[in-house]
């Protein structure tokens, strides 16, 4: 159990490190945050806090930096306070609303807006809470056995994926297949129509059944496994952060962004409940994310679940990030 003074020291070190990126010495903490305590007293407390796992000293002559345990204490203290949107957010909110078009445009714009505001990676995701209803599918032959599949779901969610089928088919057949699927499945729950499609194809398109079956199997895999439509923005901004000057750390986070399903799973785990969720370092339970923090806010409304998030270093400005995400999410539903 921390004493009140130890708590103040931990929070001060975290705040100072977020602001400066430099280790904090006892003199700095005493002078800026605990003026009633001498540097010697603060130094002794810092040594105890290091043994308790809240602070870390990079080398003997350096000050202390916070550990993930200290960040967790800091974030928990933020969550207990009432948060108000900062006045400067109003201009950004107006900018976001001015761009409002279709749902996909809004979410894509919001993810880039988050990245631009924070220099972290902005994430925006939306999913239908109800059963998946297919509105339309289209196929575009890219060459050989490679086909671009574009599916539009009820609510405006779009999935596009490059898939392989077991035959080199002409675009005319792909167009016929799309028309058939749309005539049978459009506006209906996918789980109740896929078997009808398989039966129809077996009877009507027996010669090309394998190729058509592959296409429907790919659709089923996407629609059954995840209902999220995900957007990211601002990945280039993290290059300017000193926290990611280490090539190994940078490669780890960029590799996560290249795997959409991995990122979808990560966002889904971080937003199981409505409201704010902050995962720090090893709490992310994902390879390559042990040096990062993820802040998400999520809300269920109008038959959908919307998630906004930021991926950044553990030294992220949590208070500002949480306030920003809450403000923008609220703006999406006004």
The string of pLDDT tens digits covering residues 196-255 is 887 777 666 655 666 677 777 778 777 765 567 788 888 887 877 888 777 777 777 777
User: Could you give the count of Cα atoms lying within 13 Å of 199 in the half-sphere of its Cβ?
Assistant: 6
Torsion on CA atoms 28, 25, 74, 68, rounded to nearest 10: 160
Q: What share of the chain has pLDDT > 90, as a percent?
A: 31
What is the reported pLDDT for 96? Answer: 65
Sort residue 168 into left (φ over 0), alpha (ψ -120 to 50) or beta: beta
pLDDT at 89: 66
Answer for the pair 21, 242: CB distance below 8 angstroms, yes or no: yes
Is pLDDT at 66 greater than 80 in this prediction? yes
The confidence band for 100, taking pLDDT boundaries of 50, 70 and 90, is: low
pLDDT of residue 204: 63
Measured on CA atoms in the order 218, 103, 316, 293, is the torsion positive or negative? negative
* Mean pLDDT of the region 97-115: 77
Strand ranges (E), 144-196: 146-153, 158-164, 188-189
71, pLDDT greater than 80: yes
For the stretch 263-322, pLDDT in tens is: 877 887 777 778 899 999 888 877 678 889 999 999 887 667 889 999 999 999 999 999
Distance (Å, rounded) from C-alpha 69 to C-alpha 93? Answer: 33
Check whether 88 has a pLDDT greater than 80: no
pLDDT of residue 280: 93
How many C-beta atoms lie closer than 10 Å to residue 137's C-beta? 22
pLDDT at residue number 164: 79
**Which residue, among 75, 66, 90, 57, has the nearest Cα to 10 in the 3D structure?**
66
Pairing type for strands 228-233 and 65-66 reads unpaired
pLDDT at 192: 79
In this structure, the number of other CB atoms found within 10 A of the CB of residue 148 comes to 14
Report the pLDDT value the prediction gives residue 321, as an integer from 0 to 100. Answer: 93
User: What is the predicted pLDDT for the residue at 146?
Assistant: 86
Average pLDDT over the chain reads: 83
What's the pLDDT at 130? 65
Helix boundaries (H) for 259-309:
260-269
> Which residues, other chains included, contact 112 with Cβ-Cβ below 8 Å and sequence gap of 6+?
122, 233, 234
Average the pLDDT over each of 2-11, 69-78, 173-182, 306-315 and give the range with the smallest value: 173-182
Beta bridge partners of 297: 276, 308
Least reliable range by pLDDT among 3-12, 128-137, 207-216, 295-304:
207-216
Phi, psi of 122 (to 5 degrees): -85, 140
pLDDT surpassing 80 at residue 128: no
Q: Which domains does the chain show, CATH number per domain?
A: 4-79 (1.10.10.10), 89-129+229-332 (3.30.450.40), 133-225 (3.30.390)
Query: In terms of pLDDT, which residue wins out, 58 or 257?
Result: 58
């Amino acid at each position: 159990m921390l004493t009140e003074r130890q708590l103040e020291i931990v929070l001060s070190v975290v705040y100072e490190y977020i602001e400066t990126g430099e280790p904090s010495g006892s003199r700095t903490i005493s002078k800026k945050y605990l003026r009633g305590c001498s540097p010697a007293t603060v130094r002794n407390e810092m040594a105890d806090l290091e043994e308790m796992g809240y602070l870390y000293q990079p080398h003997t002559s350096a000050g202390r930096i916070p550990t993930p345990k200290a960040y967790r204490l800091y974030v928990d203290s933020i969550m207990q306070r009432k948060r108000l949107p900062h006045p400067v957010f109003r201009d950004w909110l107006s900018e976001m609303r001015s761009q409002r078009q279709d749902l996909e445009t809004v979410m894509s714009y919001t993810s880039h807006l988050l990245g631009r505001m924070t220099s972290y990676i902005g994430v925006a995701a939306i999913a239908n809470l109800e059963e998946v209803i297919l509105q339309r599918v289209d196929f575009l032959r890219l060459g050989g056995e490679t086909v671009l599949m574009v599916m539009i779901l009820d609510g405006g969610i779009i999935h596009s994926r490059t898939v392989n089928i077991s035959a080199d088919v002409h675009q005319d057949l792909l167009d016929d297949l799309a028309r058939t699927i749309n005539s049978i499945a459009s506006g209906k729950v996918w789980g109740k129509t896929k078997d009808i499609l398989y039966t129809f194809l077996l009877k009507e398109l027996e010669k090309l059944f394998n190729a058509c079956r592959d296409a429907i199997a790919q659709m089923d895999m996407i629609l059954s496994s995840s209902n999220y439509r995900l957007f990211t923005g601002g990945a280039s901004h993290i290059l300017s952060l000193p926290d990611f000057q280490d090539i190994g750390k940078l490669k780890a986070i960029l590799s996560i962004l290249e795997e959409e399903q991995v990122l979808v799973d990560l966002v889904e785990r971080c937003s199981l409940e409505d409201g704010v969720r902050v995962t720090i370092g090893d709490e992310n339970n994902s390879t390559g994310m042990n040096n990062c923090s993820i802040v998400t806010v999520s809300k269920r409304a109008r038959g959908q679940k919307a998630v906004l998030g930021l991926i950044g270093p553990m030294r992220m400005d949590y208070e500002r990030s949480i306030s920003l995400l809450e403000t923008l999410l609220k703006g999406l539903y006004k």
